[in-house]
Amino acid sequence: MKKLFISLITVLACFAGANAQNVVNNPDNRPYFGLRAGLDIACPGDVKSDGIGIDGYKNGAGFHAGVIYNLPVVANFYVEPGLSLYYNTYSYNNDILDALDWSSASIRKFGFRIPVMAGYHFDFTPDIRLHVFTGPELEIGCIAKAHVKAGGISESESVYGDEGNMKRFNCLWDFGVALSYQKFQIGFTGGIGMVNMIDESDVTFHENRVSISLGYNF
């Protein structure tokens, strides 16, 4: 009985050691494609000029949908590029509307995102993984218009090119965490805008974002 007990303890210890190793270095890691879709919360920053900041915009909402490719590098460290479509909006705050005598005004954007994340996953069980990741995300605006309503009249015009003064390209630095169960995944990401989106040297404005996404990994 004593020998049987010792043998059982030895087997359990070996199993626990192997399982602990898999948490940070799973030998079964493999590349895979995945689908992602979710909700975006636009968090525009202050418009600043000569050291003075104006809270000109309110938070807005949108959505994204796309694909990723997860490529293991070493142990549980991976690189994950992706491509997605997005539609995002945010509106002018009430003080701006009152000053300009507008009833409402918003900016609506549609375009592409190209994230390149570097991350690490912790495999607590064969089915449950926790991912932490960070990296740059290029955002390319295809269409962006300012929609204004005033005096019963609605107008819209592009915020790019000669009609507007906003830049088409943005780059955000993302930080995120995700939890996957088998092939399904839920993630939370925050992005800090690194590009001045106003095409003027004496004015600065950055677009930040928080996203919640659902995914399926093949």
Q: CA–CA separation, 42 vs 141, rounded Å?
A: 14
pLDDT tier at 9 (50, 70, 90 boundaries)? very low
Do 70 and 2 belong together in one domain? no
Q: List the structure tokens of 73.
A: 């590098």
Q: What are phi and psi of 99, to 5 degrees?
A: -65, -35
CATH number for position 128? 2.40.160.20
Q: CA–CA separation, 88 vs 60, rounded Å?
A: 7
| Average pLDDT along the chain | 88
**150-200 pLDDT tens trace:** 877 888 888 898 777 899 999 999 999 999 999 999 999 999 999 999 988
Q: Report, as an integer, the average pLDDT of 136-147.
A: 94
Q: CA–CA separation, 169 vs 180, rounded Å?
A: 31
Do 19 and 39 belong together in one domain? no
pLDDT at 16 over 50: no
Do 21 and 91 belong together in one domain? no
Do 15 and 80 belong together in one domain? no
Range of the domain at 167: 31-217
Do 15 and 115 belong together in one domain? no
Strands 184-193 and 47-49: unpaired
Backbone region of residue 69 per phi and psi (left: phi > 0; alpha: psi in -120 to 50; beta: other values): beta
Do 70 and 8 belong together in one domain? no
**34-53 pLDDT tens trace:** 999 999 999 999 888 887 88
Do 97 and 74 belong together in one domain? yes
Beta pairing partners, 115: 137
Tell me the pTM. 0.84
